[in-house]
Amino acid sequence: MPNSSAVLAIDIGTHAVRAAIVDDREVHHVCMEPLSLQSISQSHIEQDANELMQKTQAVIDAVLQNCSADTRPTQAALAIQRSSVVAWRDKSDEKRDGPILCSPILSWQDTRNTVLVDSLASHQNQVHRISGLVLSAHYGASKIRWLTEWVVAKGFSIQEYKVAPLVSFVLYNLLCDSPYLCDEANAGRTQLWDLHERRWSTKLCQLFQVGIDTLPRVLPICASYGRLRENPRIELSAVCGDQNAAYRSIQALVSENRQQPGAAVNIGSGAFLLSECKPEQRDKFLCSVYESDSSMQHLVFEGTVNNVGLAIDNIKEEWLAEQGLKRLRSSFKQVLNKEYKIESDRFYAQIESWWEQFKEVPLCLSFTGGLGSPYWAQLPKGISPYFPCDQSYSIEQKVLAVVESSIFLIAINVKALSQKIKTLYVTGGVAKIKGYCQMLADASRCTVMELAESESTLIGVSLFITRNTAFNKVVAEFKPRNNSGLEQRRKLFEQKITQLTSK
């Protein structure tokens, strides 16, 4: 018999798609499939849209096959990476006979249309006021414009194609009748959405030269989106961005346990800080919707640190190469390769001991995708990735430098976002690195609460439907210590970044 309290939760991230059954007690039957990511250049970062859909359907099928009668869901909820965009041929009136003809997904990390964004610099205050976003090529508008031109350049008719946020492509393929829809959270990440009027902005569409009539219909986060094509008994009742879902989970935990308000920090491929504290410098941070229905919307302020987990993964590959393990071409093979997994686990386990071993740690000044908040800048080309640059460093010292750079940028964001923030609620894979949360507490001068459940996104997106009590727990609490070496490096790091971004 179907369980009305059970939700099929789906999380489409950068490196993996996950699904599970979430009820009022726990997360069941978690299934995961890795996703490939092609870094063609620093500005061109893509994913395969048909691979993403195939693996999304695969994890849904696997979860439902494992369901017992008392966990079989009637509702589903979807959380997805924001700011990614794709173009695809509209086949809604045709019988499906295989993969849809489509462009690569332009990842949220992709900044290929910086030229267009730079040409709009004089409008940045207006863009921020309407959309809540800092003018940036990371967001969807410039990618939608680029893909519109790509469709025409390929000789296709723009009337035959849809160009929209990734979530619209997923809903088009996942739901009965191929609807052309988007939720408010992902619409907000296009930089074409009027956050306050809750509609597409004519002014912003004109600035980015995007036809407003080509954009999808937008629904609130909590709404009836339709029924799953392959499982029509299940209705999709909530859709949002991945960070919105993670924040919903943490916000429910804080409210239920009467914890001290602070900021939620989700540290994965990137790091995202969300708080309802109004920033002193509002133009340096983002404002976005994290929950909405037909009668209300709740807003949250957000800081962004680009490329955290990705940078750590890259330096891990360098370390593994020194151990004699070459990078494997397929991320799926990496998961299956026992030797790779053992050495990868050993890498993460040793980071804490390396902090004790090495008293001298360089500064890492290399940031793929540029600096996020509060700088919103690219560093000058040609600078050395490590400082001081006149010394040679072991691979272990470089690892610490990369890890510390993310800690310092999070600490800078906390300080700039609001002096009222004294507690950080931390989740995400990077937070599980031993020593990371303590170092973050030391650098930010905040108490860091590490959450027990790593599936905060799956939990959070389900809460938009069930409104259940959050069952996540604080597994560890880290108080800031006096850490003179780290503090000296943090101050020097902030000084160097300020100098480099002011040139």
Same domain as 316, residue 225: no
Which of the pair, 159 or 230, is modelled with greater confidence? 230
pLDDT at residue 164 greater than cutoff 60: yes
Instruction: Tell me, yes or no, whether 292 lies in a domain.
Output: no
Tokens for 125, please give them.
Answer: 């205050």
Same domain as 434, residue 337: yes
3-state secondary structure of 372: coil
Same domain as 313, residue 233: no
Helix axes 49-66, 166-174, angle to 10 degrees: 50
Q: What is the mean pLDDT of the chain?
A: 88
> What is the residue range of 16's domain?
3-242
Instruction: Tell me, yes or no, whether 251 lies in a domain.
Output: no
Final residue belonging to a domain, choices 194, 215, 242? 242
For the stretch 16-62, pLDDT in tens is 999 999 987 788 899 999 999 998 988 899 999 999 999 999 999 99
pLDDT at 325: 61
Percent helix, strand and coil across the chain, each to the nearest 5: 40, 25, 35
- Mean pLDDT for 452-477 is 80
Which of the pair, 129 or 384, is modelled with greater confidence? 129
pLDDT at residue 465 greater than cutoff 50: yes
**What DSSP string describes 124-145?**
HHHHHHHHSS-S-TTSHHHHHH
Whole-angstrom CA distances from 466 to 355, 406, 463 are 43, 34, 5
- Which of 77, 79, 71, 62 has the alpha carbon at shortest distance from 6? 71
For the stretch 280-308, pLDDT in tens is 777 889 999 989 999 999 999 999 998 78
Same domain as 319, residue 202: no
- Which of 424, 372, 430, 379 has the alpha carbon at shortest distance from 402? 430
Residue with tokens 């386990």: 349
- Total structural domains in the chain? 2
Same domain as 126, residue 28: yes
Find the helix or strand (DSSP H, E) in which 34 lies: strand 27-34
pLDDT at 417: 87
Cα separation, 408 vs 337, in Å, equals 33
Instruction: Tell me, yes or no, whether 431 lies in a domain.
Output: yes
Radius of gyration of the chain (CA): 22
Instruction: Tell me, yes or no, whether 296 lies in a domain.
Output: no
Residues sharing a CB contact under 8 Å with residue 103, sequence separation 6 or more, in sequence order: 49, 86, 87, 88, 147, 150, 151
pLDDT at 256: 61
- Mean pLDDT for 439-466 is 89
Cα separation, 377 vs 375, in Å, equals 5
Same domain as 146, residue 68: yes
pLDDT at residue 332 greater than cutoff 50: no
Same domain as 476, residue 392: yes
pLDDT at residue 74 greater than cutoff 50: yes
CATH number at residue 479: 3.30.420.40
Residue 39 contacts residue 45 (beta carbons within 8 Å): yes
Whole-angstrom CA distances from 230 to 72, 173, 224 are 15, 10, 17
For the stretch 390-412, pLDDT in tens is 678 999 999 999 999 999 999 99
Cα separation, 243 vs 241, in Å, equals 6
Cα separation, 372 vs 364, in Å, equals 15
Instruction: Tell me, yes or no, whether 458 lies in a domain.
Output: yes
Under DSSP, the state recorded for 79 is: E
pLDDT at 72: 86
HSE-up of 52 (CA within 13 Å, CB side)?
30
pLDDT at 329: 42
Instruction: Tell me, yes or no, whether 472 lies in a domain.
Output: yes
Cβ neighbour number for residue 487 with a 10 Å cutoff: 13
3-state secondary structure of 228: strand
Same domain as 220, residue 98: yes
pTM of the model: 0.87
Same domain as 328, residue 232: no
Instruction: Tell me, yes or no, whether 179 lies in a domain.
Output: yes
Same domain as 321, residue 184: no
Residues sharing a CB contact under 8 Å with residue 483, sequence separation 6 or more, in sequence order: 439, 442, 443
Residue 19 contacts residue 174 (beta carbons within 8 Å): no
Final residue belonging to a domain, choices 208, 226, 242? 242
Which of the pair, 258 or 144, is modelled with greater confidence? 144
Residue 192 contacts residue 200 (beta carbons within 8 Å): yes
pLDDT at residue 15 greater than cutoff 90: no
3-state secondary structure of 29: strand
For the stretch 471-495, pLDDT in tens is 667 788 999 999 999 999 999 999 9
Final residue belonging to a domain, choices 242, 274, 298? 242
3-state secondary structure of 168: helix
Instruction: Tell me, yes or no, whether 155 lies in a domain.
Output: yes
Same domain as 210, residue 95: yes
Same domain as 447, residue 321: yes
Cα separation, 119 vs 123, in Å, equals 9
How many residues are given for the chain? Answer: 503
Cα separation, 86 vs 46, in Å, equals 10
